[in-house]
Structure 1
Amino acid sequence: MRDTLGYRAKFGVLGPSTNTIVQPEFDEMRPAGVTNHYSRIVIENAKAVSNESFMAGTKMIDEGTEEAVRGVMTCAPDYLVMGMSAVTFYGGAEGAQAWKNRIESVAGIGISMGSESVAAALQAIGGIKKIAFLSPYFPVANTEVNNYFSDHGYETVRDIPMQRPSWLGIAETPFSLTRDTVKKLDSDDVDAIIQVGTNLSMARLAPKLELELGKPVIAINTATYWHALRTFGITDKVQGFGRLLEEF
């Protein structure tokens, strides 16, 4: 017997309780027969006003993840999708793999997470060596992202930590500011532009920028949901979110 609505897959989605972007963006990308079941990692609206407080806030997210996993597993999901990204980059490729192994051991099922998903997206598109990326993070976290991409053989030409004032403030970032930030990153020496930080809405903006700039622009929520679908064997092409979901 299969779930009436999630007859192809039930995805458990993990995200911080302050995140208001992952759930609606993932739901917009959901093919028929796939359902998303959100489990909140309970945190306060930390005022990330420094490198230190930002890292402390993401540590709280990390520490609350296992409890949220146990909560969502009660609906018997087939697969988990991580709706947080910062902690999945920490410690480079080795640290990311260790984090994934830990969460999968708690869940007993597979997961897709932001860092691995973006790396897989870059590989799927192909021909990418030099990248630029933006985040709502503080510089210390961007350094972790840079190290992760370096471990996978990508050179970061430039990056911009937008240093948003709080967790809720990330979701309040105007599209105009995000667009302007992408434009600052772009130049002829960049093969692709990446956005990390799951509470920064860019799933609908990225494909527009791809057309304008003539190069891949990868939003982390799109990459993560694409990775979950493809890893689980669902190959539906979803329109409106750029090349990843339309071509690969």
Structure 2
Amino acid sequence: MTALGFLYPGHSAEDDYPRIEQLLGSDIRVDLVHTDIGEDAHRVDALREMGSAERLAEGVGALRLSGAEAVVWACTSGSFVRGWAGAQEQVRALARTAGMPASSTSFAFVHAVQEIGARRVAVGATYPDDVTALFVDFLRAGGVEVVAARSAGIVTAAEVATWGEAETLTLAREADAPEAEAVLLPDTALHTATHIPTLEKDLGKPVLTANQVSVWEALRLTGRRVNAPSLGSLFTREPIVQV
């Protein structure tokens, strides 16, 4: 049994995680601890505070007791708003506090893009324009070429959590570009666990979503690979990134 730990801000699309655990169909346990979201706002100052070391440290004890072997800060915007160097320091501090390997959803996207061998991507973000731009900057700092980006302009995670497959598919279609080799949907407040096959079939290319890549990243940290076609191309390809 491999136990994966996640720190998840507030309550939005956390039910994606038990769904993903079921879809993995293996000896994988997903343990999720909620962190205090503070102000629910896709605004840079609020997002920086959401991912503060103090807030993350509060959830680490419960994950250690669960037997988690690695921890992922399952919040994309709460990491990339700090920039590449700031997000690295956030993860290093989390690893020191937790006493286990650590990462975040932002880094998971960079590693997942490398894993599927994509060079150019499109981004479909639920965020306002300024926050989306920071995610694009983060990806570029990680060596990912972003050829198109679309912002839905949603301010709160609570509103994002109300979206279903239709709204998510519309965003992915609007974000896509012919030259993009994959489409990224970077909000962990967005329910996507059961939509990925539909998204990939419609767009005809890999689709990477926040909760999907977060779980994949935790598996990567523990040296595990699981073949799970219902979770999309990311979970079916031969490894490109070396663990």
- Which TM-score band applies after superposition, normalised by the shorter structure? 0.7 to 0.9
The structure-2 alpha-carbon separation of the partners of 1:134 and 1:28, relative to structure 1 and needing over 3 Å to count, comes to farther
Segments of structure 1 that go 5 or more residues without pairing to the other structure are: 1-7
The one-letter code matched in structure 2 to 1:219 is T
Q: Which runs of 4+ in 1 moved over 6 A?
A: none
Shift of 1:96: 2.0
Helix, strand or coil for the counterpart of 2:113? helix
1:14 maps to what in 2? 7
Please state if 1:206 is matched with 2:196: yes
**Larger CA Rg, structure 1 vs 2:** 1
Q: Is the 8 A contact 1:171 1:201 kept in 2?
A: yes
Q: Are 1:60 and 2:22 matched, yes or no?
A: no
Alignment deviations for residues 49-93 of structure 1 (CA, whole Å, 9 cap, x no partner): xxxx62233233213112112332233322113221112213433
Corresponding letter in the other structure for 1:54: R
| 1:107 CA displacement | 0.6
Aligned residues: 235
Q: 1:163 to 1:69 in 2, by over 3 A?
A: farther
| Distance across 1 between alignment mates of 2:67 and 2:196 | 33
Shift in Å, 1:245: 1.0
CA distance in 1: counterparts of 2:134 and 2:122, whole angstroms:
14
In 1, the alpha carbon distance for the partners of 2:210 and 2:9 equals 15
Indicate yes or no: 2:152 matched with 1:162: yes
- For residues 22 and 50 of structure 2, the distance between their equivalents in structure 1, rounded to whole angstroms, comes to 25
Superposition deviation, residue 132 in structure 1: 1.1
Partner of 2:128: 138
Q: Which amino acid aligns with 1:92?
A: G
Distance 2:220 2:25 in 1: 12
Query: How does 1:232-243 map onto structure 2 within 5 Å?
Result: 232-243=222-233
TM-score, reference length from structure 2: 0.87
Structure 2 stretches of 5 or more lacking a match? 239-243
Does structure 2 conserve the Cα–Cα contact (< 8 Å) formed by 1:29 and 1:225? no
List per-residue Cα deviations over 1:129-158 (Å, max 9, x = no partner): 321111222222212111111112222222
Q: How has the CA–CA distance of structure 1 residues 123 and 42 changed in structure 2, closer, same or farther, with 3 Å as cutoff?
A: same
Deviation string for 1:90-122 (max 9, x for gaps)? 343322211111111111101232111111111
CA-atom RMSD in angstroms: 2.1
* Aligned equivalent of 1:28: 22
Greater alpha carbon shift after TM alignment, 26-35 vs 184-193: 26-35
- What letter corresponds to residue 12 of structure 1 in structure 2? G
- The verdict on how the C-alpha distance between 1:235 and 1:149 changes in structure 2, with shifts beyond 3 A counting, is same
How far, CA to CA, are the matches of 1:110 and 1:167 in structure 2?
27
- The two structures have a TM-score, normalised by structure 1, of 0.85
